[in-house]
C-alpha cells in the first residue's frame, strides 16, 4: 500500500505506526537489541560497578504514536506548573562535593561516580536515521541532515555510562585537585552553578573523564558517538527522542523553553539543575535536553560510511568534535540520532586587544563519562 505524507504531524504518526508494524514483522530489518552480550570484561576491572538494569528498559518500548505537545505556553499556565525538584540524595551528594578538604571531596566524588555508572549491555543496532527502515513511501528521514543517512548494523561491547551530565560541583573537584582554573567562566561567574551541567573545552572534558579513571582505577573516558546513541535509544531501540517514553510532553518529561529559564539558577540562561525530569528507559537523565554533550569522536560527514562494524571510534583526526543531545526552546524529531559538532577549543578576537583568544568555556558543550572494559 502506498502512503503519501503531506505534513510533519502526519509524518510523525506514520513513522510511529510503521514502527509498530515493523515490530511485529520478521521480514523488515529492526534494531537488534535483544541479543546476547558481546565482548568481555578484564578480570576485576569493573567489579565495583553494578550490572543491574532499570526495570523500564524491559517495560517501556517506543510508542506506537509519539505524542508531541506544543512548545508554547502562556504565562498563566507557566506559573501554574509544578516546580520539579532534584532527588534529595542527588542534591545532598552535589552539596557535599563543595565542602570539606580536597581529599574528602575526591573520596566523595569517587563514590558518586561508581554509584552513578549505568550498565549498558552490549549488542547490535541499526545506527543512524532509521526512518527509511520503516518502509513508508515518501518518508526517508527524521532529520534534515545528510551525515546520519548511512544506516548500518553496529555491534557494541558492554560498557557503563554516567547516569547524569557532569555538574560543576563534580568538575570543580577535578580542577581544584589538578591546579587548573575552573571551567565554565564567561565574562563573570554568573554562567556557572554547582547543580547545572558543567561546560568545558573538549580536551578538558576528556581530561576530566580520564582523571576519574585514575581516581577510581577504571578505564573511564568520554563515550564514543556510537555508545552515546545506543544508550540514548535505550540499547538501540527505535526511540526518536530519548525521553522517558519516547514522546515530548513539555512540562512533564522536558521543560518548556520559558520553564527552563525559570528553573535555571543562572541569570538569562536555560541551563537548569540536572535530573529534574524523568530518565530514559535505560535510566539516563537529560539525554534529550539541558545542553549538548561532547563525545570522543572527531566529526566527519562520511564517518558512518567508513565506520567499523564493531565498537567504532570515529575518524582518527579532524577539525571538529561530535556533540550529541540538545538544548534550546524546542526539541527536534530525531534527537536520538541527530549529529552536531563543535570546535574543541574555539578562538575569538578580543575586541580590546585585537588578539585571538580562546572563546569562553561557559558556552561549550557539557559532558558525561563512560567506562569501557578492557
Range in 63-67, 84-88, 279-283, 333-337 with the lowest mean pLDDT: 63-67
For cell 561549550, what's the residue? Answer: 364
Per the CB < 8 A criterion, the answer to whether 250 and 73 are in contact is yes
Q: 333 pLDDT band (50/70/90 cuts)?
A: confident
SS3 94: helix
Q: What is the pLDDT of residue 63?
A: 84
Q: What is the pLDDT of residue 187?
A: 63
- % of the chain residues with pLDDT over 70: 84
Range 263-268, long-range pairs (CB < 8 A, 24+ positions): 263/83, 263/84, 264/196, 265/193, 265/195, 265/196, 266/190, 266/191, 266/192, 266/193, 266/196, 267/190
Where is pLDDT greater, at 79 or 26?
79
pLDDT tens per residue across span 24-37:
333 333 444 333 33
**C-alpha distances out from residue 245 to 56, 67, 125, 182, 211, Å:** 10, 9, 19, 36, 34
Burial class (CB in 10 A: 0-12, 13-18, 19+), 12: buried
Query: Alpha helices of 142-293 — where are they, by DSSP H?
Result: 168-178, 202-216, 225-232, 257-263
Range 57-60, long-range pairs (CB < 8 A, 24+ positions): 57/234, 57/235, 57/281, 57/282, 57/283, 59/281, 60/234, 60/244, 60/245, 60/246, 60/281
Q: Is the pLDDT of residue 14 over 80?
A: no
CATH architecture of 8-371: Alpha-Beta Complex (3.90)
Q: What is the pLDDT of residue 12?
A: 43
CA atoms within 13 A on the CB side of 281: 22
Q: For residue 147, how far is the Cα from the chain centroid?
A: 18
Where is pLDDT greater, at 8 or 365?
365
Q: What is the pLDDT of residue 98?
A: 98
Q: What is the pLDDT of residue 191?
A: 81
Range in 136-145, 193-202, 344-353 with the lowest mean pLDDT: 136-145
Range in 21-30, 155-164, 216-225, 287-296 with the lowest mean pLDDT: 21-30
Per the CB < 8 A criterion, the answer to whether 195 and 172 are in contact is no
Q: What is the pLDDT of residue 351?
A: 85
**C-alpha distances out from residue 253 to 246, 247, 275, 350, Å:** 10, 8, 10, 40
- Ramachandran sector of residue 286 (left: φ over 0; alpha: ψ -120 to 50; beta: rest): left
Q: Is the pLDDT of residue 22 over 70?
A: no
∠228-147-240 over CA atoms, to 5°? 50
Rounded-to-integer distance, Cα 268 and Cα 148, Å:
33
Q: State the chain's mean pLDDT as an integer.
A: 87
In sequence order, what E strands does 260-308 have? 293-298
Rounded-to-integer distance, Cα 133 and Cα 140, Å:
8
Domain boundaries, the chain: 8-371
Q: Is the pLDDT of residue 323 over 80?
A: yes
pLDDT tens per residue across span 235-270:
999 999 999 999 999 999 999 999 999 999 987 788
Q: Is the pLDDT of residue 15 over 80?
A: no
The C-alpha cell of 38 is what? 558481546
Dihedral angle, C-alpha 300, 304, 309, 313, nearest 10 °: 20
Q: 20 pLDDT band (50/70/90 cuts)?
A: very low
Segment holding 119, helix H or strand E: strand 117-120
Per the CB < 8 A criterion, the answer to whether 213 and 220 are in contact is yes
Q: What is the pLDDT of residue 33?
A: 38
Per the CB < 8 A criterion, the answer to whether 310 and 155 are in contact is yes
Q: 245 CB contacts (<8 Å, ≥6 apart)? A: 60, 63, 253, 281
Give the residue-averaged pLDDT of 308-327: 96
Q: Is the pLDDT of residue 115 over 70?
A: yes
How many residues are there in the chain? 374
pLDDT tens per residue across span 153-202:
999 999 999 999 999 999 999 999 999 999 988 666 568 999 999 999 99
Q: What is the pLDDT of residue 7?
A: 43
Amino acid at each position: 500500500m502506498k502512503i503519501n505524507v503531506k505534513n510533519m504531524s502526519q509524518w510523525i504518526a506514520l513513522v510511529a505506526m510503521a514502527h509498530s508494524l515493523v515490530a511485529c514483522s520478521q521480514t523488515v530489518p529492526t534494531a537488534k537489541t535483544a541479543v546476547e552480550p558481546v565482548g568481555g570484561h578484564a578480570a576485576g576491572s569493573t567489579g565495583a560497578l553494578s550490572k543491574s538494569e532499570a526495570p523500564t528498559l524491559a517495560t517501556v518500548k517506543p510508542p506506537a504514536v509519539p505524542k508531541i505537545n506544543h512548545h508554547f505556553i502562556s504565562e498563566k499556565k507557566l506559573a501554574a506548573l509544578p516546580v520539579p525538584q532534584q532527588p534529595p540524595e542527588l542534591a545532598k551528594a552535589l552539596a557535599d562535593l563543595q565542602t570539606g578538604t580536597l581529599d574528602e571531596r575526591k573520596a566523595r566524588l569517587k563514590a558518586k561516580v561508581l554509584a552513578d555508572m549505568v550498565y549498558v549491555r552490549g549488542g547490535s543496532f541499526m545506527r543512524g536515521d532509521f526512518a527509511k527502515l520503516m518502509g513508508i513511501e515518501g518518508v526517508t528521514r527524521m532529520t534534515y541532515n545528510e551525515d546520519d543517512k548511512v544506516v548500518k548494523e553496529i555491534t557494541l561491547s558492554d560498557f557503563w555510562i554516567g547516569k547524569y551530565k557532569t555538574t560543576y560541583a563534580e568538575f570543580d573537584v577535578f580542577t581544584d585537585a589538578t591546579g587548573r582554573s575552573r571551567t565554565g567562566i564567561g565574562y563573570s561567574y554568573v554562567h556557572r552553578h554547582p547543580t547545572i551541567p558543567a561546560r568545558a573545552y573538549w580536551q578538558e572534558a576528556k581530561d576530566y573523564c580520564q582523571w576519574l579513571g585514575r581516581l577510581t582505577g577504571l578505564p573511564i573516558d568520554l563515550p564514543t558517538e556510537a555508545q552515546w546513541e545506543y544508550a540514548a535509544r535505550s540499547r538501540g531501540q527505535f526511540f526518536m527522542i530519548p525521553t522517558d517514553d519516547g514522546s515530548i510532553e513539555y512540562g512533564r518529561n522536558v521543560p518548556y523553553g520559558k520553564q527552563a529559564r525559570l528553573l535555571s539558577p543562572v541569570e538569562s540562561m536555560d541551563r537548569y539543575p540536572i535530573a529534574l525530569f524523568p530518565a530514559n528507559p535505560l535510566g539516563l537523565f537529560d539525554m534529550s535536553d539541558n545542553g549538548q554533550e561532547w563525545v570522543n569522536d572527531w566529526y566527519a560527514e562520511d564517518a558512518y560510511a567508513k565506520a567499523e562494524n564493531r565498537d567504532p571510534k570515529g575518524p582518527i583526526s579532524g577539525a571538529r568534535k561530535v556533540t550529541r543531545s540538545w538544548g534550546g526552546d524546542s526539541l527536534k524529531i530525531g534527537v536520538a540520532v541527530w549529529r552536531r559538532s563543535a570546535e574543541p577549543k574555539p578562538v575569538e578576537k578580543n575586541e580590546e586587544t585585537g588578539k585571538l583568544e580562546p572563546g569562553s568555556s561557559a558556552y561549550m558543550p557539557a559532558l558525561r563519562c563512560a567506562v569501557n572494559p578492557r
